[in-house]
Structure formats: structure tokens, C-alpha cells
């Protein structure tokens, strides 16, 4: 006789299910998502969170992007995307005055 899959999984088993089916998931990650929000639907029996496999699958499918053959989108937006990815030159980090700022501050004090 074959054992039926349980309708509800404890967090550890839910993480193992996600990991075996989708390649990601850990009990700590699911616990973090309970706190931050955005995780799969769950119910509690006392203090124990319980997850249904159908809810785990639905949630994971919602997190996935559409299939793609490339991470680069060809077309008019490509040049814009590449240009915006380049760091702009000449910007100084905040809190680190440039030499010209220091000179201006010295002249103002004099």
C-alpha cells in the first residue's frame, strides 16, 4: 500500500518540497517570509506553521518570470538599457568633498 502525501507540510518539509521541485527553499527563508510578507499562504496549528503543496506551487509559479532564451532584449530599448547600466563619471561620494569644494570653503572662510 502506498502512503499518501500529507495535505499539510511543516516548514521543514515545505522547504524540502520547494527545494526538490524548484531548486530553492529553506526553512529559514520561509520563516523570514512569514515575518516580512510575500511568502506562500500558510495556516497554523498552535504555533506550528503548515503549508499546502498546492499553495507552495501556486506561490512559486507566481514568482517565476516567463521563459526566455536571453537576458538581453533586442530592439530600441537595448541602447537605453546599456547606457543606464554604465556608472556616470565625475560624481563624488557624499561626505567626501572634492578639491574644488575644499578650495571654495577656504576662500569663503578668508
* Cα distance between residue 27 and residue 10, in whole Å: 9
How many other CB atoms sit within 10 Å of the CB of residue 22? 14
Higher pLDDT: 73 or 107? It is 73
pLDDT in tens, 19-28: 999 999 999 9
Q: At residue 17, does pLDDT exceed 90?
A: yes
Q: Would you tell me how many other CB atoms lie within 10 Å of the CB of residue 29?
A: 14
Helical axes 27-36 vs 11-22, angle rounded to 10°: 110
Q: Tell me the per-residue pLDDT of 33-85, one tens digit each, with 9 for 90 and over.
A: 999 999 999 999 999 999 999 999 999 999 988 888 887 766 555 555 555 55
Query: Which value, to the nearest 10 degrees, does the dihedral of the CA atoms of residues 104, 107, 108, 110 take?
Result: 160
Domain boundaries, the chain: 8-63
Q: How confident is the model at residue 89 (pLDDT cuts 50, 70, 90)?
A: low
Amino acid at each position: 500500500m502506498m502512503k499518501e502525501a500529507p495535505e499539510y507540510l511543516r516548514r521543514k518539509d515545505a522547504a524540502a518540497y520547494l527545494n526538490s521541485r524548484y531548486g530553492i527553499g529553506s526553512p529559514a527563508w520561509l520563516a523570514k517570509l512569514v515575518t516580512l510578507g510575500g511568502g506562500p499562504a500558510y495556516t497554523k496549528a498552535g504555533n506550528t506553521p503548515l503549508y499546502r503543496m498546492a499553495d507552495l506551487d501556486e506561490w512559486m509559479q507566481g514568482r517565476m518570470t516567463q521563459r526566455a532564451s536571453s537576458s538581453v532584449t533586442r530592439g530600441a530599448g537595448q541602447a537605453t538599457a546599456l547606457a543606464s547600466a554604465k556608472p556616470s563619471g565625475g560624481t563624488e561620494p557624499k561626505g567626501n568633498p572634492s578639491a574644488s569644494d575644499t578650495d571654495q570653503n577656504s576662500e569663503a572662510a578668508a
